[in-house]
Amino acid sequence: MPGCARPLFAPPAPLVQIRRGYVADYRGFLLSVEVDSDGWAVRVRKDGQSLYSARRCSLAAARVAAAEFTLASVGAAGRYEPDALARDLVWRASW
């Protein structure tokens, strides 16, 4: 029977993936970026509440997306460039 045959090769158990990410604080907002299977997951929280989430293809783009949302939230979108904020923030490794 075609559907009942035992596979010739049994794949090994899935590998454990070590989480890799970065967090930064800006005016009470917690910005986080974390690698996942689709690229980089972006999250912005304030007071424990999730305000924004997105996915980006690179670490730099993820940081800029988090910074852009945060600047818009604090009303500073025209006064500070998102890429400059993303560079200036102190991003701490998060495991």
The count of structural domains within the chain is: 1
Q: Does residue 3 carry a pLDDT above 50?
A: no
Residue 10, in any domain of the structure: no
pLDDT tens column, 11-58: 665 665 667 899 999 999 999 999 988 899 999 999 999 999 999 999
**How far is C-alpha 23 from the chain's CA centre?**
9
Residue 1, in any domain of the structure: no
Structure tokens at 6: 């035992």
Residue 4, in any domain of the structure: no
Residue 3, in any domain of the structure: no
- Per-residue b/e over 60-88, b at no fewer than 16 CB within 10 Å? ebbbbbbbbbbbebeeeeeeeebeebbee
Residue 7, in any domain of the structure: no
Q: Does residue 2 carry a pLDDT above 60?
A: no
pLDDT band at 1 (very low <50, low <70, confident <90, very high): very low
Mean pLDDT of 52-80: 93
Where in the sequence is the domain holding 36, given as residue range(s)? 19-94
Question: In this structure, what is the dihedral angle of CA atoms 40, 41, 42, 47, given to the nearest 10 degrees?
Answer: -150
- pTM given for the model: 0.79
